[in-house]
Structure 1
Amino acid sequence: MPVGTRVEYIALQDIRRVEPGEDLAALIGQSLAGMSLELQRGDILVIAQKIVSKSEGRYVRLSDVEPSPAALELAATVGKDPRFLEVVLRESSEVVKTRPNVVIAAHRLGFVMANAGIDQSNIEHREGEERVLLLPKDPDGSAQRLKVALDAAGDLNLGIIINDSFGRPWRNGVVGVAIGAAGIPSLLSQIGVPDMFGRAMRVTEIAIADEIAGAASLLMGQAGQGMPIILVRGLTLDGPVLPAAALARPKSQDMFR
């Protein structure tokens, strides 16, 4: 279980605009040095999905996209750019729900989200050329590579979370959730653990990575705040390491699809 009575969330400062090929570990090191901070064993870093995708060059120019018949048909229903929808369909395994100006899709990685996580906000559209940004190809792999690079500085055993903003079926507004993770128990089972009255819990699982990501999003913001990396300190997690992929509910267990 999480252990600690005090947890700090620290937004790293002076993070420049990330370009394809950017070394995020070096970027983090520069920011920490500028703030006179050093990573400590067990620290967790929450990284905004957008800068991970940008560093991996996950851009698509809409001028390069030829809409398929399926994208054209979907565009007639929802009123979105058929080129944009073509990219959504390419990244999706299933269109779950639509209405005018809304497409909820199951991303090929298992996440069910608006537009399969494809976005045009907070990215540069150079010389008037429209671009979209895709999710990382393998967010858990991206988190693991960053962990390895940062752990190399010492005996740190860091946790890494890549977070994104998701809407929820029964609630208004978006919250931060983990789409990639390394070095932490993203999903922690409490099945069989006694509650405060000694009764064994039967179904409880805690989405640890999502809870950490959601709190980090308070500092990151959703618009132009420019704080895409959050250092989390003081939280000790005891449980088997699991990637964020463990958080995606299989369709066979989904009561609403």
Structure 2
Amino acid sequence: MTSLAVHAPDGVPEVVEGTDLAAALLTALGHGTGGHDLVDGDLVVVTSKVVSKSEGRVRRGDRAQALADETARVVARRGPTTIVRTHHGLTMAAAGIDASNVELGSIVLLPVDPDASARRLRARLHELCGRVVGVVVTDTAGRAWREGQTDIAIGAAGLDVAESFAGRVDAHGNELAVTAPAVADEVAGAAELAQGKLGGRPFAVLRGRADLVLPLDDPGPGATALVRPEGGDLFGYGAREAVVRALRGVALDQAPFGAPAPPEELVAAVEHVSGGTATTTPSTGDPTALEVRLAPTDRPRLAALLAPLAFAHGWSAHAPDDSGSGVAAELRPRTP
């Protein structure tokens, strides 16, 4: 039988720039006084809020400017809500900027490098108490398709952030292909249940998964290993934004749409949009390209749609070399 225990200590004082987080945690745990001392294999969880405060990531004033500074690109906007991809690669509402539990008129930005923050905290804990632990830095995020929020790992050190079950066989003899639990996120969620949002408990210690903790000289892959690269996510833009970006057709907007789709996928899309009236065949002059022919009655309606349709699939639309050939456009796969 496997059991987990999560302890979130009370009594952590207000964290300010320069606060020694490791010392604050050990004091709150009652280290050396018979309290809840750390042991090798524990997982220490800390909110990004206090990490940011200790690292001087508190700013006065203009939240809009801070959002612009922290944004790599906008994913979606709905009224006052802006979902962005940060410079960390995280996709979050308002770039993770927080105005709660901080002096009125101030905002807290995410740590510059949460994995580095986790590594420093791990090393400092070992210096102070001699224990080898894993560290997870957390923040709260929404989820596509789900109401509510949960905590996720945005930084990690000294642990495997994901387990791979690919190639293993279940009890029924089925081979697992892509099962890979994001255990660092699961640790973050479990810790948040003990910490609460209003309890003033920014630390938690999870015990029972020492198998995840790596030797002291191995920092592990960090939480960045859980971030999908641009183009690797099937939902790189919001629904409305995807339409706008495809219509705009600017090269800088291409990456989130991913690698060029296979020709047969693009052919199916052209046929779907045209209602089956378009004819798509391999180009006579370029074996990698496709020629699209439209009936004269369909040309005014469909010709303008071929460019954004191609763009969304990682291709580009070009005018035919011979306008008298009946070809409405030549579609070519985008090259990196």
Q: TM-score range by the shorter chain?
A: 0.7 to 0.9
Match of 2:123 among 144, 148, 162: 148
Residue aligning to 1:110: 89
Alpha carbons of structure 1 residues 30 and 134: separation in structure 2 relative to 1, 3 Å: same
Alpha carbons of structure 1 residues 136 and 35: separation in structure 2 relative to 1, 3 Å: farther
Residue aligning to 2:24: 27
State the secondary structure of the residue aligned to 2:210: coil
In 2, Cα distance between equivalents of 1:242 and 1:188: 12
The Cα shift of 1:177 comes to 0.4
> Which structure has more RCO (C-alpha within 8 Å, separation ≥ 6)?
1
Residue aligning to 1:74: none
Alpha carbons of structure 1 residues 178 and 91: separation in structure 2 relative to 1, 3 Å: same
- The amino acid that maps onto 2:201 is M
Residue 47 of structure 2 corresponds to residue 48 of structure 1 = yes
Identity %: 38
Query: Per-residue CA shift, 1:80-123, capped at 9, x if unaligned?
Result: xxx32221111111011001110000010000000000110111
Residue 210 of structure 2 corresponds to residue 236 of structure 1 = yes
Contact 1:10 / 1:231 at 8 angstroms: preserved in 2?
Answer: yes
Contact 2:158 / 2:213 at 8 angstroms: preserved in 1?
Answer: no
Residue 4 of structure 2 corresponds to residue 7 of structure 1 = yes
Residue 232 of structure 2 corresponds to residue 253 of structure 1 = yes
- The amino acid that maps onto 1:145 is R
In 1, Cα distance between equivalents of 2:139 and 2:10: 20
In 2, Cα distance between equivalents of 1:111 and 1:237: 27
Q: TM-score, normalised by structure 1?
A: 0.85
Q: TM-score, normalised by structure 2?
A: 0.65
Residue 67 of structure 2 corresponds to residue 88 of structure 1 = yes
Structure 1 segments unaligned to the other structure (5+ residues): 63-82
The Cα shift of 1:234 comes to 1.6
Residue aligning to 2:283: none
Residue 154 of structure 2 corresponds to residue 179 of structure 1 = yes
The Cα shift of 1:238 comes to 4.7
Query: Per-residue CA shift, 1:38-64, capped at 9, x if unaligned?
Result: 1101011110110100001101111xx
Root-mean-square deviation over aligned CA pairs: 1.6
Contact 1:166 / 1:176 at 8 angstroms: preserved in 2?
Answer: yes
Residue aligning to 1:60: 59
Residue aligning to 1:226: 200
The Cα shift of 1:239 comes to 8.2
State the secondary structure of the residue aligned to 1:137: coil
- The amino acid that maps onto 2:147 is N
- The amino acid that maps onto 1:108 is H
In 1, Cα distance between equivalents of 2:81 and 2:158: 35
The Cα shift of 1:230 comes to 0.5
State the secondary structure of the residue aligned to 1:214: helix
In 2, Cα distance between equivalents of 1:239 and 1:123: 33
Residue aligning to 2:78: 99
The Cα shift of 1:35 comes to 6.8
Match of 1:207 among 169, 174, 182: 182
State the secondary structure of the residue aligned to 1:175: strand
In 1, Cα distance between equivalents of 2:107 and 2:136: 23
In 1, Cα distance between equivalents of 2:17 and 2:156: 21
Q: Where do residues 66-77 of structure 1 align in structure 2 (5 Å cutoff)? A: none
The Cα shift of 1:225 comes to 1.1
Query: Per-residue CA shift, 1:174-193, capped at 9, x if unaligned?
Result: 00100000111012221111
Greater C-alpha Rg: 2
Contact 1:60 / 1:133 at 8 angstroms: preserved in 2?
Answer: yes
State the secondary structure of the residue aligned to 1:206: coil
State the secondary structure of the residue aligned to 1:215: helix
Alpha carbons of structure 1 residues 229 and 196: separation in structure 2 relative to 1, 3 Å: same
Residue aligning to 2:316: none
What is the aligned residue count? 229
State the secondary structure of the residue aligned to 2:187: helix
Query: Per-residue CA shift, 1:139-179, capped at 9, x if unaligned?
Result: 00000000011112455220100111000110000001000
Contact 1:21 / 1:57 at 8 angstroms: preserved in 2?
Answer: yes
